[in-house]
Structure 1
Amino acid sequence: MPLLARKSVLAIAAVVDITVHRGRPLSAKALAMRYGVPMRHFEPVLQALVRRGILKGIRGPHGGYRLARERSRVLASEIVEAAASADDQNAPSPAPSHLLATVVMPALGKAEQAFCAALARITLDDLVHRARSVIQPAAGASTHELKLSHPQREMRSHVTLLAPSGKREGKESRK
């Protein structure tokens, strides 16, 4: 049973992906394609991350999203909170009940507090260090490859690094 909503997991993955790209903007379209998510579902999550000051939106033909502040100052719990704020505001709440108010919600509240405390101990810096440790260098190139799993298909995402000449290297491909 996943503890995080799909939007939260995607938000964390997107922020790590953007950070690994070392300040160059990544488009919402590229991110949505990487994670197999329709743009209409992914864009509100990215906008929520911008509103929370985690990402910065860059306009224009070479625009996209980049990290808005130092990665050591971004907590996983902040990313999860931002993604949760992107949820449908019109979603119906459960009908009030005595059992819900006195038993279920207090018990879930304690579990949620413990989980949030654990998330607050994870920084984006921790996640980026882990991501870089699993990225394998491609033979003879400054591009590193990271395999991303998707339930319906396997995708490969190439993390593009700047070559010493300043030119971009790498590409994204599907397998």
Structure 2
Amino acid sequence: MYLKTDRILTALSIMLDVAFYAGRSGVASGADIAQRSGLLRRGIEPVLQALSRAGLLDSIRGPKGGYRLGRSPRVVNLHEIASAVGAYDSSCFPVEQDNPLRTLVMKPLWEELNDGIKGKLGNITLADLLQQAERLGLERPRQIPISFTI
């Protein structure tokens, strides 16, 4: 359920961070992602794993390892990211026989709001967010080419 979880916001933040700092060719370490996001590494690890399982992130092993985008930011929409970490949590509205206002009025309203958010998230891609960051004056780090001199 979009209106209830912080896990979705964490996943969206992680994906935007990786898109901004690493893209498809660079690598962002889990520690760097956590530091820039102001989150604990062990707290974001399950989200990173879920995003990797969904194919949204590629996990790179080794001392220079980390994460990079699994697909182009132009084709990854925000609903897909939310779905990868469990967008809908029906436990927000358990079946209650003794509260008809909650089950007959509030639950349908909440579902309608979530459907609207789902549609909105489906129309926004990571590329859209990257363009917004550029319009706001944020500069992406440049990958300095490696040059060897013998």
Shared fold (TM-score, shorter chain, > 0.5): yes
SS of aligned partner of 1:66: strand
1:112 alignment partner AA: N
| 1:162 aligned to which of 122, 130, 143 | 143
Alignment of 1:114-125 (within 5 A): 114-125=116-127
TM-aligned CA deviation for residue 48 of structure 1: 0.9
TM-aligned CA deviation for residue 135 of structure 1: 3.8
Q: Give the Cα separation in 2 of the matches to 1:134 and 1:72.
A: 19
CA 1:8/1:64 → structure 2, altered by over 3 Å: closer, same or farther?
Answer: same
1:129-166 superposed Cα distances (whole Å, 9 cap, x missing partner): 11223344xxxxxxx4xxxxxxxxxxxxxx43112x43
Alignment of 1:33-44 (within 5 A): 33-44=35-46
Structure 2 alignment gaps of length 5 or more:
none
Q: Could you tell me the TM-score, scaled by structure 2's length? A: 0.80
1:162 alignment partner AA: Q
Structure 1 alignment gaps of length 5 or more:
137-143, 145-158, 168-175
Residues 56, 69 of structure 2: 8 Å contact kept: yes
CA 1:101/1:31 → structure 2, altered by over 3 Å: closer, same or farther?
Answer: same
1:15-50 superposed Cα distances (whole Å, 9 cap, x missing partner): 112112232111111111111211221011111111
Q: Could you tell me the TM-score, scaled by structure 1's length? A: 0.69
Which has the higher mean CA deviation after the structures are superposed, 122-131 or 2-11?
Answer: 2-11
Question: Number of paired residues?
Answer: 140
Q: Give the Cα separation in 2 of the matches to 1:6 and 1:95.
A: 20
SS of aligned partner of 1:161: coil
More strand by share: 1
1:161 alignment partner AA: R
CA 1:47/1:116 → structure 2, altered by over 3 Å: closer, same or farther?
Answer: same
2:5 alignment partner AA: A
Q: Give the Cα separation in 1 of the matches to 2:132 and 2:92.
A: 37
TM-aligned CA deviation for residue 95 of structure 1: 4.5
Q: Give the Cα separation in 2 of the matches to 1:101 and 1:42.
A: 33
Q: Give the Cα separation in 2 of the matches to 1:111 and 1:67.
A: 30
CA 1:13/1:95 → structure 2, altered by over 3 Å: closer, same or farther?
Answer: closer
CA 1:3/1:12 → structure 2, altered by over 3 Å: closer, same or farther?
Answer: same
SS of aligned partner of 1:30: helix
**Cα RMSD between the aligned structures?**
2.5
- Corresponding residue number in structure 1 for 2:11: 11
Structure showing greater relative contact order (alpha-carbon pairs closer than 8 Å, 6 or more residues apart): 2
